[in-house]
């Protein structure tokens, strides 16, 4: 059998994919881990719908049921509660994700459910694919994965919601000041900055549970700099936390 070159191999498993695999792993007994298990076949189908990899050199084998079963076998090998051998050959990321979520299975389920819900909606999935990724975001590893982060950005860019939030804020406060640092684009830039401010979705990614409707109270108005910092501290930094940091 001819060995595939690196250019012909499918990409390594992404964090989102391992999250989905781990969520299923915790629901199965070791003896149920095989490529003919309907739950593993379904996992394979979900993995193939994720809006992550556009290039799949070996399309026929990309995250097929056999590969999904092998990944669960890799998880067996790193599970301290399993006393068999498992399947060696997994990567470091499997161990990292396992250790992060082994005692937070409800949180893991919420995250996995939301990833699955996004993948199950073809129109939403396409929109998430199409969201541009900024260079610095490529350097960040979001604990809940790329799909939820893209969903987060998608909610922030809903033009109707953003307009409604700005209108609500103007009626209440009379100005569009950043809720973290009080910067006002119109004050700084005159008419050029009139009406400009960015929207940040405040619900932490790990609290997402399916695709839920976004409320205006879920959004905060922030300047571009504060928005970048909030995204860098996605798992730990709230708008209020950043305000304390900026104004201390």
Model confidence pLDDT, tens digit, residues 190-232: 999 999 999 999 887 667 665 677 889 989 999 999 999 998 8
Q: Is residue 169 located within the same domain as residue 225?
A: yes
Is residue 205, in this structure, part of any structural domain at all?
yes
Q: Is residue 159 located within the same domain as residue 63?
A: no
Contacts 24+ apart (CB under 8 A), 232-237: 232/140, 234/140, 234/142, 234/143, 234/149, 234/152, 234/204, 234/205, 235/142, 235/143, 235/144, 235/204, 235/205, 235/206
Q: Is residue 164 located within the same domain as residue 83?
A: no
Is residue 91, in this structure, part of any structural domain at all?
yes
pLDDT at 54 over 60: yes
Distances 104 to 26, 147, 165, 174, 241 between C-alpha atoms, Å: 11, 20, 34, 43, 24
Q: Is residue 111 located within the same domain as residue 173?
A: no
Query: Which among 95, 120, 145 is the end of a domain?
Result: 120
Average pLDDT over residues 139-145: 71
| Domain with 34 in it | 6-120
What whole-number distance in Å separates Cα of residue 177 and Cα of residue 126?
A: 33
Q: Is residue 79 located within the same domain as residue 179?
A: no
- Residues 202/219, Cβ–Cβ less than 8 Å: yes
pLDDT for the residue 125: 83
Is residue 144, in this structure, part of any structural domain at all?
no
Q: Is residue 115 located within the same domain as residue 193?
A: no
Q: Is residue 160 located within the same domain as residue 69?
A: no
In the chain, the percentage of residues whose pLDDT exceeds 70 is 91
Q: Give the lowest-confidence range in 68-72, 78-82, 142-146.
A: 142-146
Top pLDDT among 118 and 29 is at: 29
Is residue 145, in this structure, part of any structural domain at all?
no
Is residue 140, in this structure, part of any structural domain at all?
no
pLDDT at 2 over 60: no
Confidence of residue 7 (pLDDT cuts 50, 70, 90): low
User: Structural domain tally of the chain?
Assistant: 2
Indicate whether this model's pTM tops 0.75: yes
Is residue 106, in this structure, part of any structural domain at all?
yes
pLDDT for the residue 89: 81
Is residue 193, in this structure, part of any structural domain at all?
yes
Q: Is residue 77 located within the same domain as residue 10?
A: yes
Query: Which among 96, 120, 144 is the end of a domain?
Result: 120
Average pLDDT over residues 166-187: 96
Confidence of residue 158 (pLDDT cuts 50, 70, 90): confident
pLDDT at 135 over 70: no
pLDDT for the residue 1: 42
Q: Is residue 115 located within the same domain as residue 158?
A: no
pLDDT for the residue 55: 81
DSSP state letter for 32: G
Is residue 174, in this structure, part of any structural domain at all?
yes
Q: Is residue 12 located within the same domain as residue 97?
A: yes
pLDDT for the residue 9: 85
Q: Give the lowest-confidence range in 83-92, 117-126, 136-145, 187-196.
A: 136-145
Q: Is residue 81 located within the same domain as residue 185?
A: no
Q: What is the mean pLDDT of the chain?
A: 88
Q: Give the lowest-confidence range in 69-78, 106-115, 152-161.
A: 152-161
Q: Is residue 13 located within the same domain as residue 105?
A: yes
For 107, half-sphere exposure in the C-beta direction (CA atoms, 13 angstrom radius) is 13
Query: Which among 120, 139, 166 is the end of a domain?
Result: 120
pLDDT at 152 over 70: yes
Highest mean pLDDT among 3-7, 111-115, 164-168: 164-168
Confidence of residue 23 (pLDDT cuts 50, 70, 90): very high
């Amino acid at each position: 059998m001819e060995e595939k070159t690196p250019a012909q191999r499918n990409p390594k498993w992404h964090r989102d994919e391992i999250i989905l695999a781990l969520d299923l792993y915790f629901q199965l007994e070791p003896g149920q881990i095989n490529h003919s298990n309907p739950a593993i076949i379904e996992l394979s189908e979900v993995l193939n719908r994720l809006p992550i990899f556009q290039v799949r050199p070996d399309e026929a084998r990309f995250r097929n049921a056999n590969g999904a079963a092998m990944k669960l076998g890799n998880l067996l090998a790193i599970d301290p509660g399993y006393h068999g051998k498992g399947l060696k050959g997994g990567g470091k990321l499997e161990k990292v994700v396992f250790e992060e979520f082994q005692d937070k299975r409800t949180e893991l389920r919420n995250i996995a459910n939301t990833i699955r819900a996004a993948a199950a909606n073809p129109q939403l999935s396409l929109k998430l694919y199409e969201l541009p990724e900024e260079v610095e975001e490529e350097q960040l590893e979001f604990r809940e994965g790329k799909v939820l982060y893209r969903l987060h950005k998608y909610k922030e860019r809903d033009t109707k919601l953003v307009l409604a939030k700005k209108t609500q804020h103007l009626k209440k406060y009379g100005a569009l000041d950043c809720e973290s640092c009080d910067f006002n684009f119109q004050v700084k830039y005159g008419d050029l900055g009139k009406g400009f401010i960015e929207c940040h979705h405040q619900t932490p990614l790990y609290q997402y549970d399916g695709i839920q409707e976004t409320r205006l109270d879920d959004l905060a108005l922030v300047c571009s700099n504060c928005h970048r910092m909030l995204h860098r501290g996605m798992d730990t930094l709230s708008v209020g936390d950043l305000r304390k940091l900026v104004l201390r």
